[in-house]
Amino acid sequence: MKEKLISLEEFWSLRIQVPIIDARSEGEFEQSHIPGAFNIPILSNSERVIVGTMYKEKGALEATLKGFQLVGPRFYEIQKSALTRFPEGKILVYCWRGGMRSQILSWLLSMVGFEVYRLKGGYKTYRTFTFEQVRKDWNMLVLGGKTGVGKTRLLKALESRGEQIIDLEALANHKGSAFGAIGQKPQPSVEQFENLLAEELAKKDPEKIIWLENESRRIGKIVLNDHFFDQMATSPLVDIRKQESDRIKLIIEEYSHLPTEELIAAVNRLKKKLGGLRTTEAIQDIIQGNHEGWISNMLIYYDKTYQFDLERHRPDLIEVLDLSNKDLNESIDKLLQLKSLIHGKLTNTTH
pLDDT in tens, 24-40: 999 999 999 999 999 99
For the cut 90, the answer to whether the pLDDT of residue 288 exceeds it is: yes
CATH of 137-350, one of 1.10.600, 3.40.50, 1.10.15, 2.60.60: 3.40.50
**pLDDT at res. 344:** 74
Give the separation between CA 130 and CA 191, rounded to whole angstroms.
9
Q: What is the pLDDT of residue 351?
A: 46
Q: Are 181 and 220 in contact (CB under 8 A)?
A: yes
Query: Chain-wide mean pLDDT for the chain?
Result: 94
Q: How far is CA 198 from CA 10, 99, 102, 191, in A?
A: 17, 24, 24, 10
Contact 100, 106 (CB under 8 A): no
Q: What is the pLDDT of residue 156?
A: 97
Give the residue range(s) of CATH 3.40.250.10 domains in the chain.
4-131
Coil, strand, or helix at residue 183?
coil
Strand bridging mode 140-145 / 237-241: parallel
pLDDT of res. 1: 58
Per DSSP, the residues of 46-68 read HHHHHHHHHHHHH-HHHHHHHHH
Residue 264, sorted as left (phi over 0), alpha (psi -120 to 50) or beta, turns out to be alpha
Is the pLDDT reported for residue 348 higher than 70? no
Q: What is the model's pLDDT at position 350?
A: 54
- Active site amino acids: 95
Q: Where in the chain is the domain with CATH 3.40.50?
A: 137-350
Q: 68-88: per-residue pLDDT in tens?
A: 898 888 999 999 999 999 999
- From 47-56, 115-124, 270-279, the region with the lowest mean pLDDT: 47-56
- Name the fold adopted by 4-131: Oxidized Rhodanese; domain 1 (3.40.250)
Segment 11-30 mean pLDDT: 96
Nearest to 70 by CA among 80, 82, 78: 78
Pairwise CA distance, residues 122 & 349, whole Å: 44
Report how far residue 3's alpha carbon sits from residue 98's, in angstroms, rounded to the nearest whole number: 13
- pLDDT, one tens digit per residue, over 308-336 is 888 888 899 999 999 999 999 999 999 99
Work out the average pLDDT over 253-261.
94
pLDDT at 66: 87
Please state the pTM of the whole predicted model: 0.93
- Listed in sequence order, the residues at least 6 apart from 282 whose beta carbon sits closer than 8 Å to its beta carbon are 267, 274, 293, 294, 297, 298
Q: Residue 23: is its pLDDT beyond 80?
A: yes
Q: What is the pLDDT of residue 60?
A: 85
Residues in a beta bridge with 90? 115
Q: Is the distance from CB of 13 to CB of 19 less than 8 angstroms?
A: no
